[in-house]
Structure 1
Amino acid sequence: MTQTPVVLVTGAARRVGAEIARTLHGAGAIVAIHYRSSAAEAERLAAEMNAARPDEGGESAASFAADLLDINALPRLVDSVVARFGRLDALVNNASSFFATKVGAVDTAAWDDLVGSNLKAPLFLSQAAAPHLERSGGCIVNITDIHAERPLKGYPLYCAAKAGLLGLSRALALELGPRVRVNAVAPGPIEWPQNDHDFPPDMRAAIIEHTLLKRVGSPTDIARTVKFLVFDAPYITGQVINVDGGRTTQL
């Protein structure tokens, strides 16, 4: 990339998304921080980045609000980023809903949320971003899950949605090449949120024991992989990289 790249990261106000945004910014990117409801966190992150590196015009990051389940809002989100920074070089579809669904009790609200955030929104946002990415010779990185290919019991709808995103990643690589690269990153066991009651300590210990590295991963592990795909992988497209400590070898 000959110019300072502009990267839009969805769900970037907290946790893995925020670490992806920080890592890309640290590598020299201008970062568009998308959020839905975490306005304070997003604005704080943008201020942190601008204090660390004010580019020409005074900012190297900015926050953008959008409800990704509102399909009509997605072209507006892309247009806002391009209007602010003049271009778009990469899209990281990170935003995701995650919760259990019991077969026999799946309803349309769960469908709309899980499939909407994990598959529908990435498709329509990628579609809106594609013309800009074609002009810049850019890329898309989708955050999937190792359970897209190896389902997690109790989460059938989430797994199906992530499987769809994995298939979409490969299909978009076919559709958007040669100008746009499309890849996916599939996290395994990454540090659980403190308030995550779905995975009690004994379950977490069992999951870690089934990794080859016998430890949990961190958001930084995901962020560094995204950075590699954005900055250092010009001949890689249509691929998925599992960042899971080797867990998939034992599933």
Structure 2
Amino acid sequence: MNQQDTPVILITGAARRVGAEIARTLHAAGAHVVLHYRQSAADAEALAAALNAQRRDSATTVRADLKEDGAPEGVVDTILARHGRLDALVNNASSFYPTPLGRIDAAAWTDLIGSNLKGPLFLSQAAAPALRECRGAIVNIVDIHAERPMKNYPVYCVAKAGLAGLTRALALELGPEVRVNGVSPGAIDWPEDGQFPADERDAIVRHTLLGRIGSPTDIARTVRFLIFDAPYITGQILAVDGGRSAHL
């Protein structure tokens, strides 16, 4: 692929876990990937180095707290200054933790709404002119609990419900030039902070039609499909959850 024709794709929260797998998968499909991170600088730089070892000058990093005013616009400006184009945006960055009713505070609201809804909205708005020029795509990483809330996580679920609505609204606003879709994961990577003890994990798996959790690769392949192989799909949210949401 000619470097001039190489699509440039921004993946937010790309340093670790699902975001890193999305970046690796899109890189393997031939894209130049821009790895956004907020705190995980070492992980982001290590991933970029590994990808650049495979293909020279094919990955770059950008740091920002996307819930801060002006940060999304700054990220897009940086990418356009470096690369002159932006072909796709994957809104993956997310905060996730419980906020039981009665203990919700303004800090949790600002963080969860900021990372899961405000950041994607303002980043998409900032990226829209460049995406229109390239007839590009946006993929938002939503959650099956956007439509079927999970107990003790009301603010997170509300934020993801907003992201689901934003996905459809942006498809309306940005069509026909830009396609906008979402991916709703089920149980993929368990949180690393022990939010779900073993008995809760077992219950989730038992309630999943395929009888197992998924992997970051399942999400990454779906994102790749929506960006590269779905020219007549927009305004849709695909559940990648082993069938769990079919009977929640």
- TM-score class, shorter-chain normalisation, is over 0.9
1:208 paired residue number: 205
- CA drift at 1:236: 0.3
TM-score normalised by the chain length of structure 1: 0.96
Does the Cα contact within 8 Å between 2:171 and 2:181 map onto a contact in 1?
yes
Which residue type is aligned with residue 219 of structure 2? I
- CA drift at 1:117: 0.5
Alpha-carbon separation, structure 2, partners of 1:62 and 1:231: 21
1:249 paired residue number: 246
Match of 1:219 among 216, 219, 223: 216
Structure 2 counterparts to residues 1-251 of structure 1, below 5 A? 3-54=5-56, 59-193=57-191, 195-251=192-248
- Considering only aligned residues, what root-mean-square deviation do their CA atoms show, in Å? 1.1
- CA drift at 1:198: 1.2
Alpha-carbon separation, structure 1, partners of 2:21 and 2:69: 26
- CA drift at 1:3: 2.0
Does the Cα contact within 8 Å between 1:173 and 1:183 map onto a contact in 2?
yes
Alpha-carbon separation, structure 2, partners of 1:74 and 1:248: 32
TM-score normalised by the chain length of structure 2: 0.97
Alpha-carbon separation, structure 1, partners of 2:69 and 2:143: 23
Identity %: 68
Which residue type is aligned with residue 120 of structure 2? P
- CA drift at 1:123: 0.2
Paired positions, count: 246
Which residue type is aligned with residue 144 of structure 1? V
- CA drift at 1:196: 2.9
Question: Structure 1: which 5+ runs fail to align?
Answer: none
Which residue type is aligned with residue 209 of structure 1? R
SS of residue matched to 2:22: helix
Does the Cα contact within 8 Å between 1:71 and 1:121 map onto a contact in 2?
no
